[in-house]
Structure 1
Amino acid sequence: MSPSSLEDRLIAIRRHLHQYPELSKEEFETTKSIEKWLREEDIDIRETSLKTGVFADIKGKTLGPTIAVRADIDALPIEEKTGLPFSSKIKGKMHACGHDFHTAAAIGAAYLLKKHQSELNGTIRFLFQPAEESGAGADKVIKDGQLENVDAIIGLHNKPDLPVGTVGLKNGPLMAAVDRFQVVIRGTGSHAALPHKGKDPIIASAQLITALQTIVSRNVSPFQSAVVSVTKIEGGSTWNVIPGDVTLDGTIRTFDSVIREEVKERFYTVVEHIAKVYSQEFVIRWFAGPPPLINDEKVTETARRSAQNLSLRVIDPEPSTAGEDFSYYLQQIPGTFAFFGSNGNEDWHHPSFTVDEKAIIKAAYFLYETAKNLLIEYSQIKEKQKSHSTF
């Protein structure tokens, strides 16, 4: 398959996926399509207990290390407004984060590696992972055993604000840990004309929202980073009644595991004391999300050299306070996650989000080149370990 025909095929795959998006844990047709495209090139599909997601191995001529390539496959509950001729055909669902891009690029890398299968000293494993947007997919893939015997892992995410041909590679923290909270402040309702006969949860909630901002400004070092955002408030049913309770929802983003725990502890303390001052009861519901995504130095350097071999422009990107469950893999094995320029008109999760399809083939070659080079390097490491063990 020539580079031009491969590019055409990957664009067609991406457009098919874009027209038929499926939400987290519902990627049944997406799973069937990916399996079909891989089987067409005689790529071996691995067994799985998961209902969605596809896992595949390309085994070389000899036994050796295993390198994983990961792509996420789920879409978002967003009504598309791009006006593209291949817009989503599923009402209220859209690939507004570019997972169709990631999947097409990984399939392209699989095709390239299959073509050079006889040259591989080891195995390349592909993880077409479900449920990234729900934050639980990677953990389920690990529990399913798909990471067993894997030595290193790579992945990427399109980046709309970077031009095509640019790769963002950063050692250390790249994306944030994401935690969600819900706080219910319970007071005593009363007539709005008689506030002294109740215990107003709206006043307490207003004070709490302000006080929560001091967690970052007065507890986190200026040389570190954290975000505390209250994003939803529900309370009251009419204009002349003080309600009995108010519910606040929001999110906390951190790049360091120690700071993550410190911020959580401070959050609970602030809620408790504000509630006490205003004679309120409270309930905190905490939903822990993915940990911070921290890239491995050596794997990142290999990815950097691979990108340069392809004449891609490599930059040191700004970390993102968005979350990514690829971080679960990096808690288990070394790996790196790249930002790949897609020259989009809007950022992730926007109804008018698009990608420049010229980036797909470049991303496919980047994943191919990095996986191949990691396999070579880990083969050399294992050979050295084997020779030392003979003494």
Structure 2
Amino acid sequence: MSFCKLVSFVLILHLLNSCLISCSSSSLTSDGLSQIPQKFLTLAKRDDIFNWMVGIRRKIHEHPELGYEEVETSKVVRAELDKMGVSYDHPVAVTGVIGSVGTGQAPFVALRADMDALPMQEMVEWEHASKIPGKMHACGHDAHTTMLLGATKLLKEHEKELKGTVILVFQPAEEGGAGAKKIVEAGVLKKASAIFGIHVTNLLGLGKVSSRARLLMAGSGRFEAKISGRGGHAALPQFAIDPVVAASSIILSLQHIVSREADPLDSQVVTVAKFEGSDAFNVIPDSVTIGGTFRALSNESFWKLKERIEQVITSQASVHMCSATVDFLEENYPFFPPTVNNEALHQFFKNVSVDLVGIENYNETQPVMVSEDFAFYQEAMPGHFSFVGMQNEAHSPMANPHSPYFEVNEELLPYGASLLASMATRYLLESSSLPNKSYKNDEL
């Protein structure tokens, strides 16, 4: 054999050996960034991990708790973190749990899941339906908590390969209580360079994902108004001042704010969802209470909408010889700012998602008028929020969130867990080229 042939043969053997080592390795290094999501997804679909996640989700679903009441839910979270050997702080923001996986050193990236349920009666009949009357996980927060625990397990199994620290945010009170705001105010995310959150959706097929750069969701607020008149007999309206008629006129006039005053290209919403008066059929009540929500895609439109809601309510009440007081309930339900995704993080999310589920399962969404307290994190640091599909396209359409018939397709759990774990792992590997707050190289 000639010298040249011998050198070529040695080189071929070396390349084959390197390939075999690379293919058999489960390491999560910067040399194989595109392979990380699929490795995590394969691991998350393993029977033992998948069945474990299903069991956790069902346990949480059976015992729903409202905002800042997530005592038992946080116990479930802490018990699983204890089993994994993951350190955490509790309580944070009343019932929240903040864990960490990795080196304990910078860079730091955060993953968030919400834990609270809704005050509504579940109408789905199945073995693991809510056991708490009048409370239900009707928005998928039980799945979000489970997926973050699943991501924690994946990350913990590869902890030695993480190039920084992942902060795990199990947050209370997303449904109006602004738990995210309290988490930020607690100071536990000061070292985080970025934060990621996901939400299940029935509007996408199983395993499909969607999001967009910049504006994603609306800012929102609540209002409650008491319209006072003078009560009397329903058969003698001339001796009363009817607040029901005044309230009816107010509700119709509120709809005109959006339809007649707002730019049609500047989406806004005013919805009256509460109307309370007398329980009797033959009594004109002294007062009526109405309440609802208002939303806008820009802060400027939001504050203008708030101003006009108060003006319309008080003015229309006066037209009908009634008085009105308006409460925007800010103390218990702070206004949510619009959810705005960081552009660089969105491109990062797209890259990870395509590697996870393929370009054919990635979707760019339009802005939507729902709101998310995840926006409070985005005011404090670069952040990105996205949606993961769960609709089994072979079956009838699933119910929308906040419906008593809402269900979760548990087959999505591995997708959510692996997406979260992949974003955290790759962010730490790529952090030098992504949005990054200044930090000191100290321990968490």
> Which residue does 2:301 correspond to in 1?
259
> Which residue does 2:168 correspond to in 1?
126
- Alignment pair present for 1:318 and 2:366: yes
Greater radius of gyration (CA) = 2
> Which residue does 1:232 correspond to in 2?
274
Instruction: Give me the CA root mean square deviation.
Output: 2.4
Other structure's SS at 2:216 match = strand
1:361 is matched by which residue type in structure 2?
Answer: P
Distance 1:196 1:132, change over 3 A: same
Aligned mate of 1:362, from 405, 415, 418: 415
Other structure's SS at 1:341 match = strand
Post-superposition shift, 1:79? 2.6
Aligned mate of 1:307, from 342, 350, 353: 353
> Which residue does 2:12 correspond to in 1?
none
Aligned mate of 1:166, from 208, 219, 225: 208
Q: TM-score, normalised by structure 2?
A: 0.81
> Which residue does 1:272 correspond to in 2?
314
Aligned mate of 2:432, from 375, 379, 385: 379
Find the aligned partners of 1:21 and 1:134 in 2 and give their Cα distance. 16
Distance 1:384 1:48, change over 3 A: closer
After superposition, give the CA deviation of every residue in 1:352-376 in whole Å (9 maximum; x if it has no partner): 2111111100111111111122222
Distance 1:182 1:306, change over 3 A: same
Post-superposition shift, 1:48? 4.2
* Deviates most, 49-58 or 124-133: 49-58
Other structure's SS at 2:205 match = coil
Are the aligned partners of 1:46 and 1:57 in contact in 2 as well (CA < 8 Å)? no
Find the aligned partners of 1:42 and 1:125 in 2 and give their Cα distance. 14
Distance 1:78 1:183, change over 3 A: closer
After superposition, give the CA deviation of every residue in 1:99-145 in whole Å (9 maximum; x if it has no partner): 11111111111111122222222211000111112422111211222
Other structure's SS at 2:163 match = coil
2:88 is matched by which residue type in structure 1?
Answer: I
Find the aligned partners of 1:206 and 1:81 in 2 and give their Cα distance. 31
> Which residue does 1:114 correspond to in 2?
156
- Alignment pair present for 1:53 and 2:106: no
Find the aligned partners of 1:50 and 1:363 in 2 and give their Cα distance. 25
> Which residue does 1:31 correspond to in 2?
74
Are the aligned partners of 2:193 and 2:435 in contact in 1 as well (CA < 8 Å)? no
> Which residue does 1:6 correspond to in 2?
49
> Which residue does 1:346 correspond to in 2?
399
Post-superposition shift, 1:173? 2.3
Aligned mate of 2:383, from 326, 331, 335: 335
Post-superposition shift, 1:381? 5.7
State how many pairs are aligned. 385
Find the aligned partners of 2:438 and 2:70 in 1 and give their Cα distance. 41
- Alignment pair present for 1:78 and 2:130: no
After superposition, give the CA deviation of every residue in 1:305-356 in whole Å (9 maximum; x if it has no partner): 1010112411112333222211111111111111110117211122221111
* Deviates most, 192-201 or 8-17: 192-201
Post-superposition shift, 1:298? 1.1
Are the aligned partners of 2:299 and 2:337 in contact in 1 as well (CA < 8 Å)? yes
Other structure's SS at 2:110 match = strand
Other structure's SS at 1:18 match = helix
Other structure's SS at 1:342 match = strand
1:331 is matched by which residue type in structure 2?
Answer: E
Post-superposition shift, 1:58? 1.2
Distance 1:383 1:193, change over 3 A: closer
Distance 1:239 1:63, change over 3 A: closer
* Deviates most, 76-85 or 341-350: 76-85
Are the aligned partners of 2:314 and 2:325 in contact in 1 as well (CA < 8 Å)? no
Aligned mate of 2:249, from 207, 225, 243: 207
* Deviates most, 190-199 or 118-127: 190-199
Distance 1:382 1:281, change over 3 A: closer
1:340 is matched by which residue type in structure 2?
Answer: V
Distance 1:167 1:29, change over 3 A: same
Find the aligned partners of 2:366 and 2:73 in 1 and give their Cα distance. 32
Find the aligned partners of 2:282 and 2:61 in 1 and give their Cα distance. 48
Are the aligned partners of 2:269 and 2:296 in contact in 1 as well (CA < 8 Å)? yes
1:349 is matched by which residue type in structure 2?
Answer: H
Other structure's SS at 2:380 match = coil
- Alignment pair present for 1:294 and 2:340: yes
Other structure's SS at 1:366 match = helix
Other structure's SS at 1:46 match = strand
* Deviates most, 142-151 or 328-337: 142-151
Post-superposition shift, 1:18? 1.7
Are the aligned partners of 2:122 and 2:130 in contact in 1 as well (CA < 8 Å)? yes
* Deviates most, 112-121 or 326-335: 112-121
Are the aligned partners of 1:135 and 1:324 in contact in 2 as well (CA < 8 Å)? no
Distance 1:100 1:150, change over 3 A: same
2:408 is matched by which residue type in structure 1?
Answer: V
Find the aligned partners of 2:89 and 2:56 in 1 and give their Cα distance. 21
Distance 1:186 1:113, change over 3 A: same
Other structure's SS at 2:118 match = coil
Q: TM-score, normalised by structure 1?
A: 0.91
Find the aligned partners of 1:16 and 1:193 in 2 and give their Cα distance. 54
After superposition, give the CA deviation of every residue in 1:169-199 in whole Å (9 maximum; x if it has no partner): 1112222222111111222334445544443
2:220 is matched by which residue type in structure 1?
Answer: V
1:302 is matched by which residue type in structure 2?
Answer: F
Find the aligned partners of 2:164 and 2:77 in 1 and give their Cα distance. 23
